Structure 1
């Protein structure tokens, strides 16, 4: 497993009040855990992936995600088994929408 970490500062929106889990880790898919934590306005994302050597693609997907959802005080944990960038974006959007809807 490869582990990647991303941190985005100066988010504008707190993530919510309760942790949320979306997706299922299985062949070609991933799960996303999103949770509110005090991070001085930052959003931290940790990716554990079975697909090695795709750090630049993950960085592009996470940067795009943060541009759409500038979260603050939020930690996101991703467990990936080879999902495509489109599926990653979909799951991240689902996680945020679920979290904000549960607030």
Structure 2
């Protein structure tokens, strides 16, 4: 198991501060994403726990792309990975964000 940590500057606050979103299932070739508001001095932090070691540059690229498209502030994402492909990672991140935004509208 490998643990990777990333921090990105944020620009946009979540509109609702008292909820979180959990999507995905940790199973062969998949992952789960937990997104939750956390005071982080305006940053977005992402922690990845993965069974696939040696892919930190790929994780960096996928997560930097997500952070550039969605520069959230004061948000922590926790990712538990069982070998998902970059496309699945991007899909789950987008799904977590959409689930969180659906909670904002409720």
Q: Shorter chain as normaliser: what TM range?
A: over 0.9
Does residue 89 of the first structure (1) align with residue 82 of the second (2)? no
Alignment-derived partner of residue 35 in structure 2: 34
Structure 1 residue 82, shift from structure 2 partner: 0.3
Gaps of 5+ in 1: none
Say whether 1:13 aligns with 2:39. Answer: no
Q: Distance in 2 between matches of 1:85 and 1:12?
A: 24
Deviation at 1:12, TM superposition (A): 1.5
CA distance in 2, matches of 1:60, 1:49: 16
Return the offset for 1:100.
1.6
Shift of 1:48: 0.2
Tell me the equivalent position of 2:57: 56
Deviation at 1:72, TM superposition (A): 0.4
Q: Distance in 1 between matches of 2:86 and 2:100?
A: 21
- Cα deviation 1:4-33 (Å, max 9, x = unaligned): 000002x12123431110000000000000
The TM-score, its normalising length taken from structure 2, stands at: 0.93
Cα separation, 1, equivalents of 2:11 and 2:99: 18
What SS does the corresponding residue of 2:22 show, helix, strand or coil?
strand
Q: What residue is the counterpart of 1:47 in the other structure? A: 48
Instruction: Find the aligned partners of 1:14 and 1:87 in 2 and give their Cα distance.
Output: 25
Deviation at 1:40, TM superposition (A): 1.1
Superposed structure 1 runs of 4+ greater than 6 Å apart? none
What's the RMSD between the two structures over aligned residues? 0.8
Total equivalences in the alignment: 102
